[in-house]
Amino acid sequence: MRLDIFLKNTGLIKQRSEAKRACDAGRVQIGGQPAKASHLVIIGEQITIETDVRLLDVEVLSVPARPPAKRDRHRFYRIIRDEHRDPYDDLSF
C-alpha cells in the first residue's frame, strides 16, 4: 500500500492530498530519510510525521487491505513518540 494512502486510511493524516503534500515537503520520514508518497509501506517500518504542532513516531504493525472503521484504525500502528509543540515557541518579543 502507498504511504499516502496508509496515512489517510489509518487516520494519521486526514486527507490523502494532505499526506502527499507532507511527503513532498519532507515532513514524513521513514528510517530517518524523507519518504515519497508512493513508497510501499512495509510492516515494521518506523514513520515520523512532523507538523507545526506535533511530532509523531509510529511503527507499522499491519497494512489494511481496505479502509478500516474509525474504531479499528489504531490496530495498524503503534505510537512510539507523540510530542505536542507550541508553534509560537520560537518567537521572541
DSSP string spanning 13-57?
SS-HHHHHHHHHTT-EEETTEE--TTPBP-TT-EEEEE-SSEEEE
Q: pLDDT value at position 88?
A: 82
Mean pLDDT (whole number) for 72-88 = 92
87 vs 54, which has greater pLDDT? 54
Position 90 confidence tier, pLDDT thresholds 50, 70, 90: confident
Per-residue pLDDT tens for 10-20? 999 999 999 99
- Domains, the chain: 3-84 (3.10.290.10)
Q: pLDDT value at position 11?
A: 94
Q: pLDDT value at position 86?
A: 84
Mean pLDDT (whole number) for 53-71 = 94
Question: Please, which residues have CB within 8 angstroms of residue 70's CB and are 6 or more apart in sequence?
Answer: 11
